[in-house]
Amino acid sequence: MKDLNVIVERELANVEGEPTAQQLIEALMVAVRELQGDLEPAKGERKLYYFSAEFLMGRLLRANLINLGLLDEAEALLAGYGTTLAEVEEAEPEPSLGNGGLGRLAACFLDSIASLGLPGDGVGLNYHYGLFRQDLSHGIQEEHADPWIAPQSWLVDTGRAFWVQLRGQHLLAKVYDVQIPGYQNGVCNQLHLFDVENPAEPPAEGIDFDKQDLAGNLTSFLYPDDSDDAGRILRVCQQYFMVSAGAQMILADLEAAGHALTELPEHVAIQINDTHPSMVIPELIRLLTERGIDFGTAVDLVQRTCNYTNHTILAEALEKWPVSYLETVAPQIVPIIKKLDELARERTDNPGLSIWDANDTIHMAHMDVHFASKVNGVAELHTEILETSTMKDFYDLYPEKFTNKTNGVTFRRWLMGCNEPLAQMLDDTIGCAWRTDANALEDLVQHVDEEELQNRFLGVKYHRKEELAKWLKDTQGVDVNPDAVFDVQIKRLHQYKRQQMNALYAIWKYRQIKAGVKPARPLVMIFGAKAAPAYTLAKDTIHLLCLLSELFANDPEVAPYLQIVAVENYNVSAAEHVIPAADISEQISLASKEASGTSNMKLMANGAVTLGTMDGANVEIVERAGEENAYIFGRSSEDVIDLYDTGSYHPWDYWRDPEVEPLVDFVVSPELLSTGDPASLSRLYKDFIAADYFMALLDVKDYISTKERCLADYENRNAWARKALMNIARSGHFSSDRTIAEYDRDIWHVNPELGQ
Ligand code: C3B
């Protein structure tokens, strides 16, 4: 049996003097990789392949040590070198293979699949320069390449490769694996990442690169700028590269296991994560027919194998590609898509459900719904909106296909890993059962009235706030006061998530303070958000937040009471610092627009209280935590959908309100214009008064008063602690172990113990 200590010692044998953090991390990575290499993948008759353009894995050393049961041993080893894992892990680069919720969900799912002992691997792409590294030093978002692949990384070169025919060239897709160990169960599954053979060097500046250099740049960046045709075509190239290589790998595995291709659905389940991997459907059909299976049989086999998850009702995120793009990228699948469209038209005469529309556009989600076995939304409300509104005609055609799978997060990373003091408090109060079954957190309900526990919780939270303060000081040079309320909004920057409404609150609070209304306690508003590089209004909002941050910091009347902190380059590692320290969880999307949200779940499990709208999974969170333990405001999703349907929302009906108008006007005030970019600020201002597509002004007054009520309640510290404890106690439902067990029960049927 190999031993962590022995391998680390071997790796450090040639180091002279004290090893650096970098050397310790590398030695531990080698050791963990070797130990994981000796574990077996989960086995069964049927195996899941989870296809996703994103896997936002985060750092893996701590997570893997936890799952291997070696965390204490590693800490003891590091103590021998006078350090701790928390200190050295800052030297571990974070793979930047995702944008936000969808990518992080895929990572949580892989952890749960392995931990439940299910045969299931991830399939994705190995972007060398990731999404981008965000630089806020000039008060705006600037993007840089984020090369994360160091000489020691978690990538294992498998030596496998598949040829993909793309844009008339043949490109070799090499397979790199990232090991995915289960939680103390001896299982190790894999995430397969495809990569071009000879990747190009990173750009010297920014994130521009030669979009024509396919062989070099296909796996450079996640979601290359899609504001022009070349960028969009490159995105389609990435997608086809991923699914073609993935489909070939699946068929090769099937045949290597001695099965006939006609047995595909008996041995394989495919999950299509959003529409990015949708071309796996025609590609598998193509590969099967190429191998002698007739078209009708191939369609049937693929349909019984594939399932589709929808993650959004925003039209912009439901991909549609012009036929001409597909003709350019992969003409070999175009006739197949044509035939699938014909088959779909045999099933329905509703032209709105066609795959290939009259404008020669291919609707990827339509192809998924017609040719997948199951289609799921990611929270109860979201699935209901799909069924009754966005995909109503599809639901009427195929009611049996639709199912809900409310998202979840892995408590191993998001509680055990990132918040040890809280985990310890839970162990001491209710025992350790919650570590393998998050539902056991429910036992905490019996203790929420105990003053001693409430005080201990407040102590743990304060300690985590001190730690966040130290991290912000070390990484960004910002001072924050741990006695302040930490009010946290962490998610991609998007207008539907309404960071701009939160900014209006900040303006309101600033004006209150300037008018002499001093808050009982300082408020630190913490934002973590990246904006898509081509999304102008999102970048404008970041600029506004940076300006407000500076304005408050430089005003001695305001600074002691109100602060905005924009966490630069928000990513998984940053989240692990911010989430345990949060008091308030901002979940303020326009009702009906956030499919689920997952930071809401992580924050809940770490004892933050939700301030939010009845949207996405917030609905289920409040249902469990109790309305008295959350702060809910804003219009309902029914009202909002009705406002859209009737076209009756007009921002001018709201900003003329004497309480709202000064807030909106402040966006173009001399205070901000003196240091800000006038073009950017006036775009934001005009958007508020003339468009406000996501109705920030509809809810802003209710938001302000609800937030004030929340802040007032915060002053009763023990009553607040009770609310936080109730949230933790009722968070078990949001474990991704529960979500994955449901996917398996209703969709995949890969659990060898349950049989098919
Ligand atoms: C996100 C949604 O916006 C979130 O509500 C949801 O919690 C997660 O997916 C996970 O289901 N999402 C995303 O991050 N990227 C997309 N392209 C679409 C949805």
Does 129 lie in the same domain as 159? yes
Minimum-distance ligand 1 atom for the alpha carbon of 311? 19
Does 329 lie in the same domain as 216? yes
Atom 10 in ligand 1: residue holding the nearest Cα: 102
Residue showing tokens 């040890």: 420
- Tell whether 637 is covered by a domain: yes
- Determine phi and psi for 404, rounding to 5 degrees: -100, 140
Q: Is the pLDDT of residue 756 over 60?
A: no
Whole-number Å distance between alpha carbons of 298 and 371: 11
> Would you call 174 a catalytic residue per the annotation?
no
What tokens appear for 614 in the block?
């009845």
Minimum-distance ligand 1 atom for the alpha carbon of 105? 10
Taking only the tens place, the pLDDT of each residue in 628-648 is: 999 999 999 999 999 999 999
Tell me if the pTM is above 0.90.
yes
Q: Is the pLDDT of residue 99 over 90?
A: yes
pLDDT number for residue 604 = 99
By C-alpha distance, which of 422, 432, 407 is closest to 728?
422
CATH number of the domain that residue 683 is part of: 3.40.50.2000
Q: Is the CB of 274 under 6 A from ligand 1?
A: yes
Does 323 lie in the same domain as 306? yes
What tokens appear for 80 in the block?
């021998």
Taking only the tens place, the pLDDT of each residue in 432-454 is: 999 999 999 999 999 999 999 99
- Stretch 558-574: mean pLDDT: 98
Taking only the tens place, the pLDDT of each residue in 196-251 is: 988 778 777 887 778 788 888 899 999 877 888 988 999 999 999 999 999 999 99
Pocket test for ligand 1, best of 50, 104, 311, 495 (most atoms within 8 A of CB): 311
Q: Is the CB of 407 under 6 A from ligand 1?
A: yes
Residue 152's SS3 state is coil
Does 147 lie in the same domain as 21? no
Percent of the chain with pLDDT over 70: 100
Does 542 lie in the same domain as 575? yes
Q: Is the pLDDT of residue 619 over 70?
A: yes
Atom 4 in ligand 1: residue holding the nearest Cα: 597
How far does residue 567's CA lie from ligand 1's centre (Å)?
21
Among 104, 235, 413, 492, the active-site one is: 492
Does 82 lie in the same domain as 44? no
Pocket test for ligand 1, best of 312, 320, 600, 619 (most atoms within 8 A of CB): 312
Taking only the tens place, the pLDDT of each residue in 524-554 is: 999 999 999 999 999 999 999 999 999 999 9
| Residues spanned by the domain of 465 | 448-734
> Would you call 497 a catalytic residue per the annotation?
yes
pLDDT number for residue 224 = 76
Does 537 lie in the same domain as 605? yes
What tokens appear for 53 in the block?
């353009």
- Stretch 696-719: mean pLDDT: 98
- Tell whether 365 is covered by a domain: yes
Would you say 667 and 688 are in contact if contact means Cβ atoms under 8 Å apart?
A: yes
- Tell whether 702 is covered by a domain: yes
> Would you call 492 a catalytic residue per the annotation?
yes
- Tell whether 587 is covered by a domain: yes
pLDDT number for residue 755 = 65
Does 70 lie in the same domain as 188? no
The number of helix segments (H) and strand segments (E) in the chain equals 32, 19
Would you say 444 and 451 are in contact if contact means Cβ atoms under 8 Å apart?
A: no
Residue 253's SS3 state is helix
Strand partners, 40: 187
Would you say 46 and 266 are in contact if contact means Cβ atoms under 8 Å apart?
A: yes
Whole-number Å distance between alpha carbons of 21 and 417: 19
Taking only the tens place, the pLDDT of each residue in 4-52 is: 999 999 999 999 999 999 999 999 999 999 999 999 999 999 999 999 9
Does 483 lie in the same domain as 365? no
Among 275, 390, 429, 598, the active-site one is: 598
Strand partners, 632: 612
- Tell whether 751 is covered by a domain: no
Does 54 lie in the same domain as 134? yes
Other CB atoms within 10 A of residue 358 CB: 7
Quick one: how far is CA 214 from the chain centroid?
27
pLDDT bin (cut points 50, 70, 90) of residue 1 is low
Does 595 lie in the same domain as 561? yes
Whole-number Å distance between alpha carbons of 413 and 65: 11
Residue showing tokens 């022995």: 6
Q: Is the pLDDT of residue 513 over 60?
A: yes
Among 491, 539, 577, 624, the active-site one is: 491
> Would you call 491 a catalytic residue per the annotation?
yes
Taking only the tens place, the pLDDT of each residue in 241-294 is: 999 999 999 999 999 999 999 999 999 999 999 999 999 999 999 999 999 999
With b meaning 16 or more CB within 10 Å and e meaning fewer, what string describes 409-432? bbbbbbbbbbbeebbebbeebbee
- Tell whether 218 is covered by a domain: yes
Minimum-distance ligand 1 atom for the alpha carbon of 589? 5
Does 171 lie in the same domain as 49? yes
- Tell whether 420 is covered by a domain: no
Number of domains in the chain: 3
